[in-house]
């Protein structure tokens, strides 16, 4: 397949996954803000910190309040990762590879684009309750996931998209855990058990993990939550699970022959192994931030290596010689 097609499919899926995550983060945080004691400051700054875009937000808006954060994460055209830009970029990538996707997939992405565009023009972030819009974004993205699974052939195009989705998903799970984890440590529980409970539930719901966690562990515990979101091998949004499935797709597109794995496949396999043979007791609670930060940096490096292996001009030339790609 063409290198540019692989790149477009990869990023189309990353943008869709990012938009769905942002919509979920905002929805959960909005509900959390309604449940928090009135004496506590609003919990909107951690939401921006979760995305890694705080410096850009501070430069544009300064103060983190509800309207500014919803505008920035949902509709800000100067924020490359806003829901508006993610859906717009996903649509542009889809438009460039129409022969590789089905009519149903294109129509759904196009419909989401016009839905988000209409919400931006109506300044939806100023409404009293914008949650119905973010629920529509989540449902729209999840409908696309269903289409990808049910009607697309499991060829290289599908696998590149799957890799992009799972790398984005693992990154976002690590970020929401990174930001929320310190709020639940014993020395920060200044307001007692009810606040701890609310924050724990919000953390799990931010990863769509609440029901599955309760089925497995029952009682809410920060150590069990970290174990579940990092090391669980069955939950689809757990960091390890994302890497396990992404590795399968990456090995397939690299042909999976012994001794022929690409650099990116080796790096991903190494990171997966580091999680696969560990658990939460191997992480010092005081070192959780460093652990998750290292995970995010390594994942970014793997994404860059995937570009070098498959999407760059040098990769196109090499793969053409090997018979894997053409231009």
Same domain, 174 and 65: no
Q: Is the pTM of this model over 0.85?
A: yes
For the stretch 11-42, pLDDT in tens is 999 999 999 999 999 999 998 888 776 655 56
2 has which bridge partners? 326
For the stretch 57-109, pLDDT in tens is 999 998 888 899 999 999 999 999 999 999 999 999 999 999 889 999 999 99
Indicate the residue among 152, 168, 188 that finishes a domain: 152
Same domain, 213 and 302: yes
Same domain, 74 and 201: no
Residue 78 makes CB contacts below 8 A (sequence gap 6+) with 56, 60
Average pLDDT in the 287-298 region? 95
Indicate the residue among 100, 125, 152 that finishes a domain: 152
Q: How far apart are CA 22 and CA 200, in angstroms?
A: 19
Same domain, 58 and 94: yes
| pLDDT attached to residue 325 | 38
Higher model confidence: residue 325 or residue 242? Answer: 242
Is residue 198 pLDDT above 60, yes or no? yes
Under 8 Å between Cβ of 310 and 3: yes
| pLDDT attached to residue 234 | 97
Under 8 Å between Cβ of 220 and 201: yes
For the stretch 166-186, pLDDT in tens is 999 999 999 999 988 876 765
Same domain, 164 and 126: no
Highest mean pLDDT among 173-182, 208-217, 312-321: 208-217
Phi (first) and psi of residue 154, to 5 degrees: -85, 65
For the stretch 296-316, pLDDT in tens is 999 999 999 999 999 986 544
Under 8 Å between Cβ of 60 and 76: yes
Same domain, 127 and 252: no
Average pLDDT in the 113-129 region? 91
Residue 256 makes CB contacts below 8 A (sequence gap 6+) with none
Q: How confident is the model at residue 231 (pLDDT cuts 50, 70, 90)?
A: very high
Same domain, 82 and 163: no
| pLDDT attached to residue 133 | 95
Same domain, 59 and 174: no
Domain ranges, residue 141: 1-152
Q: How confident is the model at residue 193 (pLDDT cuts 50, 70, 90)?
A: low
| pLDDT attached to residue 196 | 78
Same domain, 138 and 192: no
For residue 205, give Cα distances in angstroms to 12, 60, 278, 293.
25, 29, 24, 21
Domains held by the chain: number: 2
For residue 124, give Cα distances in angstroms to 72, 73, 87, 104, 129.
12, 12, 16, 27, 9
Buried b (16+ CB within 10 A) or exposed e, 261-286: bbebbebbbebbeebeeeebeebeee
Indicate the residue among 130, 152, 174 that finishes a domain: 152
Same domain, 148 and 163: no
Same domain, 130 and 216: no
Q: How many CB atoms lie within 10 A of CB 33?
A: 15
The dihedral through the CA atoms of 212, 218, 222, 223 has a sign that is negative
| pLDDT attached to residue 286 | 82
Tell me what the pLDDT averaged over the chain comes to. Answer: 88
Under 8 Å between Cβ of 222 and 181: yes
Same domain, 38 and 90: yes
Name the strand (E) or helix (H) holding 19. helix 3-35
DSSP per residue over 171-232, as a string? HHHHHHHHHHHGGGSGGG-TT-HHHHHHHHHHHHHHTT-HHHHHHHH-S--HHHHHHHHHH-
Residue percentage of the chain with pLDDT more than 90: 72
| pLDDT attached to residue 237 | 97
Largest CA distance in the chain: 65
Residue 196 makes CB contacts below 8 A (sequence gap 6+) with 184, 189
Is residue 318 pLDDT above 50, yes or no? no
């Amino acid at each position: 397949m063409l290198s540019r097609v692989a790149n477009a499919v990869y990023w189309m899926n990353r943008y869709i996954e990012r938009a769905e995550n942002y919509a979920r983060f905002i929805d959960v945080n909005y509900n959390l803000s309604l449940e928090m004691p009135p004496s506590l400051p609003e919990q909107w700054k951690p939401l921006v910190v979760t995305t890694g875009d705080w410096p850009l937000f501070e430069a544009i808006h300064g103060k983190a309040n509800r309207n500014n954060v919803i505008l920035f994460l949902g509709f800000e055209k100067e924020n490359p990762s806003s829901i508006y830009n993610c859906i717009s970029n996903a649509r542009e990538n889809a438009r460039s590879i129409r022969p590789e996707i089905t009519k149903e997939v294109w129509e759904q992405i196009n419909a989401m684009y016009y839905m988000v565009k209409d919400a931006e023009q109506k300044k939806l972030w100023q409404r009293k309750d914008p949650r119905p819009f973010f629920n529509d974004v989540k449902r729209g993205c999840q409908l696309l996931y269903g289409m990808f699974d049910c009607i697309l052939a499991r060829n290289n195009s599908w696998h590149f998209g799957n890799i992009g989705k799972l790398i984005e998903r693992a990154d976002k799970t690590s970020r929401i855990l990174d930001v929320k984890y310190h709020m639940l440590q014993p020395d920060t529980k200044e307001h007692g058990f009810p606040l701890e409970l609310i924050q724990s539930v919000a953390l799990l719901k931010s990863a769509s993990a609440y029901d599955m966690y309760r089925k497995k562990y029952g009682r809410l515990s920060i150590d069990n939550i970290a174990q579940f979101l990092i090391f669980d091998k069955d939950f689809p949004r757990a960091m390890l699970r994302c890497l396990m499935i992404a590795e399968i797709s990456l090995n397939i597109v690299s042909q999976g022959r012994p001794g022929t794995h690409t650099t990116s496949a080796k790096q991903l396999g190494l990171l997966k192994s580091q999680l696969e043979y560990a658990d939460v007791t191997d992480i010092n609670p005081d070192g959780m931030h460093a652990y998750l930060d290292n995970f995010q940096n390594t994942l970014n490096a793997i994404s860059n290596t995937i570009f070098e292996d498959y999407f760059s001009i040098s990769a196109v030339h090499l793969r053409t010689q090997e018979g894997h790609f053409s231009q």
